[in-house]
A and B are shown apart, each in its own frame.
Chain A
């Protein structure tokens, strides 16, 4: 099986990148290939990065409350570019009332503050779409 490739992105105007960076390192230490986009990414840039990097997973870090605007755009663009197989997970401050809506639009996992890094690693390992290519 090939190495899981993950794009970690900070969309929107927020600059609080502690969570994104810690998760990126934890996934890398768990053996995944991690591409960190840096700050202030638009949905277009994130999906382009996923395409270019042949990503299996996109991790979005959103703390500002803009998730209900950003996530639908990312999901729509992934569909348009034929990247439905890319699993999208979101970490940050997500109110309960929005969880169902995010799940309904195809977000696979939502991780709130305090989630152990290992449980995110496990989640990705268990849920990522199987790939047939061999490196």
Chain B
């Protein structure tokens, strides 16, 4: 890497070009006013050359190839030639039966994995008859109250043959226990069962705010799952450390990368502190990133993520198993980039975002539907979103080659900058005492709020143009057809809840809930008593209430 003129006074190729070619051109025809920055506000040069990246042998040079440490160019030597990414469309709404129907349709259309969206009462550990559940049952996802609902959700779908991802965090242990019991009922073997629970509570405190218990008992539930799965469900992905929501909350690409990987480090540390060996549980940790609109910045982010994780697992934790070093990730296109205005533009946005995730080597992908700034997607919109992935996979030709941007001066420079920026954030968080302490101090929350306000101001000033919103506005837009979710699901779930409480063995429910409280007070693994609660048809709300009684609830101090 050379500066424009190095110590000996020799001019770099870029320096010469700037002087001989660029400057005369700029005098005749100046550039647009800019600013030329990424969506995260990072300034970008007009040209990158070999002068911008370390030459072979220089510090920072990375000559690794795909499948080689630190996996910058991918974890598989054959890229997508061996196996395409999993096309996993997140879906869920209304009653378990309605969602079951949507799943069967997605599998029929060529989806290769399921991904469950739960409604807010389920995500917050509240039964539908709780006052805060008013109007929320079945609205943002499917309502799951008890094992009965889980049985209905996967009716006719063989859990031994598919992989399921479940976006559930605070009540992850309860929902996971339900899934395991349904698998058991179907005759599937836990030892070969595969799928993912999101189970990432740190990003809830940081960004999405779907927390129930305070940070420390929440972390203990997660290490309980690490221990339980190591023994009982060894192929299950115990956590999907998520930058998606951090980004949606307004973080920059760098903040998304840094906070997510630092969350991952925190989980590894807590697992080790709970007595696990690093190579015993780290191979089952996976990641989940946003695929946002700034094409090259996103590709660099994914490449840097793999590189940083491999190094940190080896150097900070002494991991030896290759599987502990390889960062696997799911990605989802940026919901926050979708606009209610001119919704068909969202198809184009999503296609470009999905392409960046693929070029960055994603292992699994969800593409958003064009109507998601208006409502949950219609079946037609959800199918088109899946088709977008299939067009990229089978028509664009990008799957023929591994890491096509490897060696691009620009992408390599961005990758290095991302890496460097992430380590700076790691240092800041380490100085605060780790991520749990940083979250308790509100550090990542403040960083994100600042970034999101800065972005909004850039939009207001039209430094960033969003087509159809602050540029190319159409005043006479026709109304767009949407999926309207009425209150039928809520009424049905409320009636079922009442029936469940009338017909189940309530003495057994009381006894299993008491055993759960006992485990929570001690340091016994909570997964075993939770499985007993689930088998007794205790509800998500009842199980969470039992733990609320022991641990209390977290409340954030509101600030702007």
Contact = CB atoms under 8 A, between A and B. Distances in A.
Contacts of B204: 15
Interface residues of B, number: 49
A64 B132 contact: no
B375 A38 contact: no
Contact of B208 (A16, A25, A67, A116): A16
Interface stretch (A92-100, A101-109, A122-130): A92-100
Nearest to B131: A42
B558 A114 contact: no
Contact of B452 (A18, A68, A93, A114): A18
B139 A66 contact: yes
Contacts of A36: 558-560
B248 A96 contact: no
Interface in B206-265: 208-211, 248-250
A76 interface: no
Nearest to A73: B134
A57 B340 CA distance: 25
A118 B339 CA distance: 18
A12 B126 CA distance: 12
B339 A22 contact: no
Contact of B136 (A65, A95, A118): A65
Interface of A: 8, 12-18, 21-22, 24-26, 28, 34, 36-40, 42, 64-70, 93, 95-97, 112-114, 116-118
Given A22-B456, A25-B453, A34-B560, A17 B209 contact: yes
A42 to B, nearest CB: 7
A112 B374 CA distance: 9
B84 interface: no
Given A22-B456, A39-B209, A28 B560 contact: yes
A8 B559 CA distance: 11
A69 B456 contact: no
Interface stretch (B46-54, B116-124, B531-539): B116-124
Contact of A15 (B135, B208, B557): B208
Given A114-B339, A118-B460, A13 B374 contact: no
For the complex of A and B, 6 pairs with smallest distance between CB atoms: A15-B209, A38-B558, A69-B135, A66-B135, A65-B139, A13-B120
B465 interface: no
Contacts of A97: 484
B470 A116 contact: yes
Contacts of B208: 15-16
Contact of A95 (B131, B338, B375, B453): B375
Interface string B97-128: 00000000000000000000000110110100
21 contacts: A12-B120, A12-B136, A14-B120, A15-B208, A21-B452, A22-B250, A22-B456, A39-B556, A39-B558, A40-B132, A64-B120, A64-B136, A64-B139, A65-B376, A65-B485, A66-B134, A66-B135, A66-B136, A66-B139, A114-B341, A114-B468
